[in-house]
Amino acid sequence: MLQDVLDHFQIEELNEGSWIGSDSVQSSTSLIEVYSPVDGSQMASIKPTDKKAYQTIVEELKKASEVWRNIPAPKRGEIVRLFGEKLRKEKNHLGKLISYEMGKSIQEAYGEVQEMIDICDFAVGLSRQLYGLTMHSERPMHRMYEQWHPLGVIGIISAFNFPTAVWSWNSTIAWVCGNVCIWKGSEKTPLTALVCQKLIASILQERGLPQAISCLITGGKEVGEWLSLDKDIALVSATGSSRMGKAVKLNVAQRFGKSLLELGGNNAMIITPNADLGIAIPATYFGAIGTSGQRCTSTRRLIVHQSVLDSVIDKLKSAYAQVKIGNPLDANNHMGPLIDNEAVQNYMAGIEACKKQGGTFIVEGGMLQVPGFEKGSYVSPSIALVNADMAIVQDELFAPLLYIIAYNELKEAIEIQNNVPQGLSSTIMTTNMREAEYFLSHCGSDCGIANVNIGTSGAEIGGAFGGEKETGGGRESGSDAWKNYMRRQTVTINYSADLPLSQGIQFKV
């Protein structure tokens, strides 16, 4: 039990789950009990948000929006810079809390906080670069340009596997763009959400800003639905399963709202005969077992050329023989637990389904008892040789089961890769320029992310992140993803004494 970290962040036995900045809003609903997947200990209880508290929060958000959007963007950036500074100071404690509440290895948990720091830096720079284009008008003495305005209130729904980073990708960019944010974190990781809220709220309070610039609500699906159905929420940015994304998109679309979806992945790595296996094997290892296979970008399918199949299998077998599984707070371990026992059961069901459909196990994992951590949700990872036409290959099993599929021609490998409903991350391992460029061409990968000689997971914040098809089509984080959080306005100004019409239309009075 990480009592020192819980004390550091003043997490009590019973916590409010509804916050307007640093002000809690009372709710009267049954409690969410928070258990650590690391050792099964109860960490705390939290009161989910009820409808009345939600409505109170939304009214405050609307008032805060009036103030925040009138503060110049670079000054908004200054608040995000201070948040980044705070995160630098709290990296150690916050990393430990993420690891203990979610179960990812401490290295990856620190990486998650670093990602938050990086996106703060990015957003600060962006606060001086919210550029619009200017165009030449076809009419004399006319000027045309585009400008970008804030949307208003942004709703953020996030998944358990990146309990804090995904919120910060959205919130920091949304804030510099002049929006206020309401966050519903995962009901499986409410304490890290609570702590992040406390950190940003302390800065808003120090600076005398409206507390509702950042709000937190807590609960499950129904609380997320309030956001998706609420016309006061201009944009709902939702991260999670494709099933959830579809429900959110339908709700938001029927009220003509905007949605930004970051959903499930079913990511593949192609290993060609020209691959450097010294890179390909460690990239597969990290991609398949990092975060215990619970990243949206986890490597789920390894599409291997027949000529190197035996060699790849041998090398992966010896790499998997060395995997260290246990307490994720011990930096020597590569793999911590799955999020909960339900995830363990899903993994076991996935292994059974794979066997039933004819998969051959090269490494067969399963439930694992870690001495001293018997109540944790640990599993060991698996590798199975399968055919591309098996039904299991189409689904995202959120666990460390890696499928290997053999191929003969690169075109066939790319077809196998693209022939799934999801389209998030993809990679090719090759030292051959022709293979790499073909993979990156319009005939190649159909995913939002296409890599050469690095794994499918571990994106940097500077690029736009997201995927196609059932991954939802959204783009977050770097590049010009900020445009999702603003509305574009095209302006035409006539500074002549005449009124010429566009397209030369004559309409004389």
Which CB sits closer to ligand NAD, 60 or 396?
A: 396
Told to check if 157 binds ligand NAD by CB under 6 A, we report yes
Which CB sits closer to ligand NAD, 373 or 398?
A: 398
Contacts of 25 (CB under 8 A, 6+ apart): 16, 18, 19, 49, 53, 56, 57
Told to check if 108 binds ligand NAD by CB under 6 A, we report no
User: Where do we find the tokens 């992140």?
Assistant: 465
DSSP-derived secondary structure for 297-328: T-EEEEEEEHHHHHHHHHHHHHHHHT--BS-T
Binding part of the chain for ligand NAD, among 81-89, 172-180, 263-271, 436-444 by CB under 6 A, reads 263-271
Positions marked catalytic: 262, 296
Taking CA atoms, 34 is separated from 41, 188, 261, 368, in Å, by 8, 7, 27, 22
Output the smallest distance, CB 33 to ligand NAD, in A.
Answer: 16
Told to check if 292 binds ligand NAD by CB under 6 A, we report no
Count other Cβ atoms within 10 Å, centred on residue 129.
Answer: 12
Q: Pick out residues in 454-483 that bind ligand NAD (CB under 6 A).
A: 471
Nearest of 333, 332, 341 to residue 374 by alpha carbon: 341
Which CB sits closer to ligand NAD, 105 or 272?
A: 105
Angstrom distance (rounded) from CA 320 to CA 382:
9
Told to check if 288 binds ligand NAD by CB under 6 A, we report no
Backbone phi, psi, residue 218, to 5°: -130, 145
Angstrom distance (rounded) from CA 242 to CA 467:
11
Which CB sits closer to ligand NAD, 39 or 187?
A: 187
Told to check if 264 binds ligand NAD by CB under 6 A, we report yes
Q: Which of 54, 160, 175, 320 binds ligand NAD (CB under 6 A)?
A: 160
Told to check if 187 binds ligand NAD by CB under 6 A, we report yes
Which CB sits closer to ligand NAD, 77 or 190?
A: 190
Output the smallest distance, CB 229 to ligand NAD, in A.
Answer: 9
Told to check if 159 binds ligand NAD by CB under 6 A, we report yes
Angstrom distance (rounded) from CA 105 to CA 325:
10
Residue pair 362/342 in contact by the 8 Å Cβ criterion: no
Angstrom distance (rounded) from CA 325 to CA 342:
19
Output the smallest distance, CB 247 to ligand NAD, in A.
Answer: 4
Q: Is 404 exposed, middle or buried (0-12, 13-18, 19+ CB in 10 A)?
A: buried
Residue pair 266/394 in contact by the 8 Å Cβ criterion: yes
Write the interaction track for ligand NAD spanning residues 205-244; mark x where CB under 6 A is met and - where it is not.
---------------xx--xx--x----------xxx--x
Output the smallest distance, CB 422 to ligand NAD, in A.
Answer: 8
Told to check if 202 binds ligand NAD by CB under 6 A, we report no
Binding part of the chain for ligand NAD, among 146-154, 184-192, 205-213, 306-314 by CB under 6 A, reads 184-192
Output the smallest distance, CB 10 to ligand NAD, in A.
Answer: 24
Output the smallest distance, CB 507 to ligand NAD, in A.
Answer: 50
Indicate the residue whose CB is closest to ligand NAD. 224
Angstrom distance (rounded) from CA 105 to CA 158:
20
Output the smallest distance, CB 398 to ligand NAD, in A.
Answer: 5
Told to check if 83 binds ligand NAD by CB under 6 A, we report no
Q: Is 254 exposed, middle or buried (0-12, 13-18, 19+ CB in 10 A)?
A: exposed
**Which residues are near ligand NAD by CB under 6 A?**
157-162, 166, 184, 186-187, 220-221, 224-225, 228, 239-241, 244, 247-248, 262-265, 296, 396, 398, 424, 471
